[in-house]
């Protein structure tokens, strides 16, 4: 073959490759075009969950308008953080438009995302429960201090949560591959008990369980299984307010409320007087409280203990949400509590408000 023929062959090969490349479908990119009235920020932050953390992009804003372009590996919930609000939406590689007012983020018009459309439809299907929930929550202030009324309200809210959960389970069963289903199961795993959450996780399709979100749920389940009701407590040692190491197993032989809280956590501080009331009522009946704080500043931690008048043992490694005990127990939100019996077995979780007093009164007869 002479040189001219070789060059001609190479040119034909290159042309063929170029033709193939031109005919291959282009992977669509993800984009957001937003116009949000009342948004005064000059930048917002867009967060996409990745593995055990998140990828965060800084996006410039002008007159409440911003655009973003990127890639979403799989349909999932992402978050837009402003200085005063955060917006969550389901996103895939599609062109999405957001319109609305920053003071009504729950009423934003989000179009262009099929998974967001599915989530909007799900939200619409539980509007009746959401309205009832909002009505019940608005009554909290009026029943404070009245144990009977408070317990009745909490029972109503608990019944409503059960209805909501039943609808979520039905949705997952009907849509086992949906990113909305994955999100619902993920939300259940934040606070939920291992066995019920695992049973819903098993309703997801094998393909859904193999997504990044599905794998995160599986990892979460492995953690909360260790601190499930009926499991032995996870023993640990952390320092008290004086820097002295204290072991949880030092309290074996007593009923212990292991209470995770922090000085910066408003709901925790609101619950502290209720825990104090329970402590004073039952401390002579083989009961105590051990607090684990997710603080990272010793002065703020100690100041809150003094201000809230908490006389029980308080421990912390001052690593904030990286507190090693909290990670072992799978804490993702506070306040959170575990009731441990004298043999060191976890017998109840998430006892707050009047429910705490009812449970202790039943156990410590």
The residue ranges of DSSP E strands in the chain, in sequence order, are: 30-37, 43-50, 53-60, 65-70, 76-81, 86-91, 95-101, 109-111, 237-239, 245-247, 255-261, 287-293, 313-315, 336-340, 346-349
Domains identified in the chain and CATH numbers: 30-114 (2.60.40), 127-226 (no CATH), 237-363 (3.40.30.10)
Tokens of 87: 């917006």
Question: What proportion of the chain, given as a percentage, has pLDDT over 90?
Answer: 79
| pLDDT recorded at residue 28 | 66
Taking phi over 0 as left and psi of -120 to 50 as alpha, with beta for the rest, 132 belongs to alpha
Task: Say if residue 304 is exposed, middle or buried (CB neighbours under 10 Å; 0-12, 13-18, 19+).
Answer: buried
Kindly report which listed range (187-191, 256-260, 297-301, 323-327) carries the lowest average pLDDT score.
187-191
Give the whole-angstrom CA distance, residue 172 versus residue 205: 10
* pLDDT band per the 50, 70, 90 thresholds, residue 218: very high
Per-residue model confidence as pLDDT tens digits over 220-252: 999 999 999 999 999 999 999 999 999 999 999
Catalytic site residues? 268
- Find the mean pLDDT for residues 187-214: 94
Least confident of 148-152, 198-202, 286-290, 310-314: 148-152
Least confident residue range of 10-24, 193-207, 297-311: 10-24
The Cα–Cα gap between 62 and 84 comes to 16
Nearest 5°: phi and psi at 8?
-60, -40
What is the rounded average pLDDT of the residues 294-320?
97
Q: What is the mean pLDDT of residues 306-322?
A: 96
Look at strands 65-70 and 30-37 and give their pairing: antiparallel
């Amino acid at each position: 073959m002479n040189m001219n023929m070789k060059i001609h062959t190479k040119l034909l090969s290159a042309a063929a490759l170029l033709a193939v490349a031109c005919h291959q479908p282009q992977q669509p990119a993800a984009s957001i075009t937003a116009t949000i009235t009342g948004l005064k920020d000059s930048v917002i932050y867009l967060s996409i969950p990745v593995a055990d953390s998140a990828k965060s992009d800084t996006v410039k804003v002008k007159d409440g308008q911003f655009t973003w372009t990127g890639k979403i590996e799989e349909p999932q919930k992402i978050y837009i953080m402003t200085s005063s609000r955060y917006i969550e939406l389901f996103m895939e590689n599609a062109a999405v438009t957001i319109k609305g007012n920053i003071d009504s983020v729950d009423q934003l018009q989000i179009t262009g995302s099929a998974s967001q459309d599915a989530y909007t439809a799900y939200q619409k299907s539980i509007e009746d429960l959401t309205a009832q929930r909002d009505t019940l929550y608005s009554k909290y202030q009026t029943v404070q201090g009245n144990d009977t009324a408070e317990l009745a309200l909490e029972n109503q809210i608990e019944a409503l949560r059960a209805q909501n959960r039943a609808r979520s389970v039905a949705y997952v069963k009907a849509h086992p591959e949906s990113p909305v289903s994955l999100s619902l199961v993920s939300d259940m795993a934040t606070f939920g008990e291992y066995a019920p959450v695992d049973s819903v996780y098993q309703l997801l399709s094998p393909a859904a369980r193999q997504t990044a979100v599905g794998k995160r749920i599986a990892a979460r389940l492995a953690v909360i299984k260790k601190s499930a009701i009926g499991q032995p407590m996870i023993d640990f040692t952390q320092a008290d307010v004086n820097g002295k190491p204290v072991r949880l197993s030092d309290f074996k032989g007593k009923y212990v409320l292991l209470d995770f809280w922090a000085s910066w956590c408003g709901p925790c501080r609101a619950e502290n007087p209720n825990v104090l009331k329970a402590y004073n009522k039952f401390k002579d009946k083989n009961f105590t409280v051990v607090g684990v704080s997710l603080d990272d500043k010793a002065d703020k931690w100690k100041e809150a203990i003094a201000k809230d008048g908490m006389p029980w043992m308080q421990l912390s490694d001052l690593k904030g949400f990286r507190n090693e005990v909290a990670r072992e127990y799978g804490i993702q939100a506070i306040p959170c509590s575990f009731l441990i019996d004298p043999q060191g077995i976890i017998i109840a979780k998430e006892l707050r408000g009047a429910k705490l007093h009812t449970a202790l009164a039943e156990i410590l007869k």
